[in-house]
A and B are shown apart, each in its own frame.
Chain A
Amino acid sequence: GQQLNQSPQSMFIQEGEDVSMNCTSSSIFNTWLWYKQDPGEGPVLLIALYKAGELTSNGRLTAQFGITRKDSFLNISASIPSDVGIYFCAGQEAGTASKLTFGTGTRLQVTL
């Protein structure tokens, strides 16, 4: 099965900095989701996107559904220490009802 290409794989940033990460696919997706996972726990849904071009915010997080329907972006503004974790993108590929494909994750470390 396909896995989405997520970049960067990891990043170290200072508290207060903005963060950007993206997810790309070779095929068209109908839905994009962004999750955050803390060590030893299950992923928690951050943002869901259902329409090409859609831009959605959740507090300091903003995500966009790329207009080509082959990519998505997540931005975190003014990072804080509790933003540390692994961020996963996930998407529903066109023609694959009820199944999600997950990215390989971006590990975020925030230094004081």
Chain B
Amino acid sequence: DGGITQSPKYLFRKEGQNVTLSCEQNLNHDAMYWYRQDPGQGLRLIYYSQIVNDFQKGDIAEGYSVSREKKESFPLTVTSAQKNPTAFYLCASSIYELAQHFGDGTRLSIL
């Protein structure tokens, strides 16, 4: 079945450590997105990519980095510069009409 796969489901990070969250889609969508969700809040855009080898910063990009080397993959790295990384991270993809389809998320916690 087509869809978006995020892994791992749960991730723990030590202070000063970088971690990478995986997002893979087999929907043949051009655009992919990363969002952060905190309790009681909506989704905030971290980075997005409309095409392979190109990506743009969203509203809260500081402390995060991404790459888009393949159409189906859009990994997110949470760097040590992100001082409050504990959150639920959601990856999404879409074709031109913007109706974004989401993965099931990765919950990141700090040890």
A residues adjacent to B (C-beta < 8 A): 1, 3-4, 6, 31, 33, 35, 40-45, 48, 50, 88, 90, 92, 98-100, 102-105
User: Does A103 lie within 8 Å of B48, measured CB to CB?
Assistant: no
B residues adjacent to A (C-beta < 8 A): 4, 6, 31, 33, 35, 40-45, 48, 50, 58-60, 90, 92, 97-105, 107
Q: What are the residues of chain B within 8 A of A45 when measuring CB–CB?
A: 99-101
Q: What are the residues of chain B within 8 A of A44 when measuring CB–CB?
A: 102
User: Does B102 lie within 8 Å of A105, measured CB to CB?
Assistant: no
A-B contact count (CB 8 A): 66
User: Does A105 lie within 8 Å of B42, measured CB to CB?
Assistant: yes
Closest 4 CB pairs of A and B: A1-B59, A42-B102, A102-B42, A102-B43
Q: What distance in Å separates the Cβ of A16 from its nearest Cβ neighbour in chain B?
A: 28
User: Does B97 lie within 8 Å of A48, measured CB to CB?
Assistant: yes
| Pick from A40, A92, A99, A103: contact of B42, CB under 8 Å | A103
A4, A48, A102 — most chain B CB neighbours (10 Å): A102
Q: How far is the CA of A42 from the CA of B92 in the complex (A)?
A: 9
User: Does B43 lie within 8 Å of A33, measured CB to CB?
Assistant: no
Q: What 10 new A-B contacts, CB under 8 Å, besides A3-B44, A88-B43, A98-B50?
A: A1-B60, A31-B97, A42-B104, A45-B100, A88-B42, A92-B98, A100-B100, A102-B44, A104-B42, A105-B42
User: Does B98 lie within 8 Å of A100, measured CB to CB?
Assistant: yes
Closest to A103 in B: B42
Closest to B50 in A: A98
User: Does B102 lie within 8 Å of A43, measured CB to CB?
Assistant: yes
Q: Contacts A50-B97, A92-B98, A98-B31 hold; do A42 and B103 have CB atoms under 8 A apart?
A: yes
Q: What are the residues of chain B within 8 A of A104 when measuring CB–CB?
A: 40-42
Q: What are the residues of chain B within 8 A of A98 when measuring CB–CB?
A: 31, 48, 50, 98
Q: What are the residues of chain A within 8 A of B101 when measuring CB–CB?
A: 45
Q: How far is the CA of A14 from the CA of B33 in the complex (A)?
A: 36
User: Does A99 lie within 8 Å of B48, measured CB to CB?
Assistant: yes
